[in-house]
């Protein structure tokens, strides 16, 4: 018999994250984690926090982390919001700024969580197609009648970046709604919109410590924007859980943000490995979308992406295959690992 709650559960269509199999040790190139250790300073700070202090609640406002982020981006602390992974920050922004009215605009090929949040908050997605080269076309974001716009820069899973002038075009065309720029991968070679924050009160930039700072395990993300937008997110957060970030994560995140040298070091390494991997995969006949991220989006004209994905898995290498979807059904998204991991990948691909 159908009950109210069974229908409710059936109507939820949750996000399916990349596999995290525990059966054996894989070379994991499927969920865009960093192959490098977090900053040694962050590890030290977290180890120090594992102490009698854990009997106390964490700082509900995350002041030390906000101050570190504000300093790093040359903003004021009231322009910074911190949350439990950028997924939580995105969820709060969707609830606070996009729900309750018109459709929300975002690209047809992008981070699939947006559709999930939209469904959760009864927001109708207004999907704007990427062009034939997987580019976001700014002119398509003009004259929209929407509750907001989400732009992913660089985009995922394509890896393509948008110049700042295009982000400005989109901001100017949508002055009365929030334009959320999801910059999860920005540190790997794209231009950040943070420099526009003081010019556009409708701009909310969302970033994460999960990728470039190699801290996916502690779940810390943040939003940067006008103090009024940040205040709105604070109010929402406090209505659900005033302590979204635990003491250990706060300590590690703060130290990681302060360690800018280490951030640069591991991003530079990832970018160098990416460029090398692109060359090697192209030599094997793959076609690669130009990437400004820590992953590449690759297709082979004569080979089936699902077969490659399965064969690599057999050989202990995990990459991301999204299923037989339109346009991206023959693509694989491959996270950039260490040089050794990428050599293992090319060696395996040569055997296929």
> H helices within 140-299, ranges in order?
164-173, 227-240, 247-258, 260-283
Q: Is 210 in the site for ligand PMP (CB under 6 A)?
A: yes
Q: How far is the CB of 236 from ligand PMP (least distance, A)?
A: 17
Q: How far is the CB of 138 from ligand PMP (least distance, A)?
A: 19
Closer CB to ligand PMP, 33 or 259, in the complex: 33
Q: Which stretch binds ligand PMP (CB under 6 A): 3-11, 46-54, 81-89, 333-341?
A: 81-89
Pair 183, 205: CB distance under 8 Å: yes
DSSP 280-303: HHHHTT-EE---SSSEEEEE-TTS
Q: Which stretch binds ligand PMP (CB under 6 A): 85-93, 97-105, 225-233, 264-272?
A: 85-93
Pair 303, 352: CB distance under 8 Å: yes
Q: How far is the CB of 85 from ligand PMP (least distance, A)?
A: 3
Q: How far is the CB of 144 from ligand PMP (least distance, A)?
A: 21
Q: Which stretch binds ligand PMP (CB under 6 A): 49-57, 208-216, 259-267, 305-313?
A: 208-216
Closer CB to ligand PMP, 147 or 152, in the complex: 152
Using CB under 6 A, which of 46, 171, 184, 312 touches ligand PMP? 184
Backbone φ and ψ of 182, nearest 5° = -85, 110
Q: Is 111 in the site for ligand PMP (CB under 6 A)?
A: yes
Q: How far is the CB of 17 from ligand PMP (least distance, A)?
A: 7
Q: Is 153 in the site for ligand PMP (CB under 6 A)?
A: no
Closer CB to ligand PMP, 97 or 300, in the complex: 97
Pair 333, 295: CB distance under 8 Å: yes
Closer CB to ligand PMP, 184 or 281, in the complex: 184
Pair 83, 234: CB distance under 8 Å: no
Reduce the DSSP state of residue 151 to 3 states and report it.
Answer: strand
Q: Is 191 in the site for ligand PMP (CB under 6 A)?
A: no
By C-alpha distance, which of 198, 253, 243 is closest to 234? 243
Q: Is 208 in the site for ligand PMP (CB under 6 A)?
A: yes
Alpha carbons 38 and 252: distance in angstroms, whole number: 9
Q: Is 117 in the site for ligand PMP (CB under 6 A)?
A: no
Q: Considering all CA atoms of the chain, what is the largest pairwise distance in Å, rounded to the nearest integer?
A: 60
DSSP label of 39? P
Pair 317, 27: CB distance under 8 Å: yes
* Footprint (CB under 6 A) of ligand PMP, residues 14-43: none
Q: How far is the CB of 4 from ligand PMP (least distance, A)?
A: 31
Q: How far is the CB of 352 from ligand PMP (least distance, A)?
A: 27
Pair 168, 196: CB distance under 8 Å: yes
Using CB under 6 A, which of 58, 85, 96, 148 touches ligand PMP? 85
Alpha carbons 334 and 344: distance in angstroms, whole number: 13
| Tokens 């949750």, residue located | 14
By C-alpha distance, which of 173, 177, 170 is closest to 202? 177
Q: How far is the CB of 31 from ligand PMP (least distance, A)?
A: 7
Count of C-beta atoms within a 10 Å radius of residue 32: 23
Q: How far is the CB of 32 from ligand PMP (least distance, A)?
A: 6
Binding site for ligand PMP (CB under 6 A): 85-87, 111, 152, 156, 182, 184, 208, 210, 216, 221
């Amino acid at each position: 018999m159908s009950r109210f709650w069974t229908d409710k559960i059936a109507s939820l269509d949750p996000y399916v994250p990349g596999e995290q199999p525990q059966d054996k040790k894989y070379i994991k190139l499927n969920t865009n984690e960093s192959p490098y250790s977090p900053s040694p300073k962050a590890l030290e700070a977290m180890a120090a926090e594992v102490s009698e202090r854990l009997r106390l609640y964490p700082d509900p406002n995350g002041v030390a982390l906000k101050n570190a982020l504000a300093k790093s981006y040359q903003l004021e602390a009231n322009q910074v919001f911190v949350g439990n992974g950028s997924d939580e920050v995105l969820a709060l922004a969707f609830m606070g700024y996009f729900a309750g009215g018109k459709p929300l605009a975002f690209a047809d090929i992008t981070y699939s969580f947006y559709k999930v949040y939209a469904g959760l908050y009864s927001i109708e997605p207004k999907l704007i197609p990427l062009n034939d080269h997987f580019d976001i076309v700014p002119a398509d974001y003009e004259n929209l009648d929407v509750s907001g716009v989400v732009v992913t820069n660089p985009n995922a899973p394509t890896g393509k970046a948008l110049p700042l002038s295009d982000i400005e075009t989109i901001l100017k065309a949508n002055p009365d709604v929030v334009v959320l720029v999801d910059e999860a991968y920005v540190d790997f070679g794209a231009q950040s919109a943070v420099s526009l924050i003081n010019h556009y009160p409708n701009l909310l930039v969302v970033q994460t410590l999960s990728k470039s700072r190699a801290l996916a395990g502690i779940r810390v993300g943040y939003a940067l924007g006008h103090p009024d937008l940040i205040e709105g997110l604070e109010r929402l957060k406090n209505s659900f859980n005033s302590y979204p970030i635990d003491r250990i994560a706060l300590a590690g995140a703060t130290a990681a943000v302060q360690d800018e040298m280490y951030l640069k070091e591991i991003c530079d390494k990832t970018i160098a490995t990416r460029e090398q991997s692109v060359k090697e995969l192209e030599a094997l006949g793959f076609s690669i979308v130009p990437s400004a991220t820590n992953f590449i989006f690759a297709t082979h004209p004569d080979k089936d992406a699902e077969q490659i994905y399965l064969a690599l898995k057999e050989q202990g290498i995990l990459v991301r295959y999204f299923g037989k979807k339109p346009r991206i059904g023959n693509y694989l998204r491959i996270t950039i690992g260490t040089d050794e991991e990428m050599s293992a990948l090319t060696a395996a691909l040569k055997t296929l």
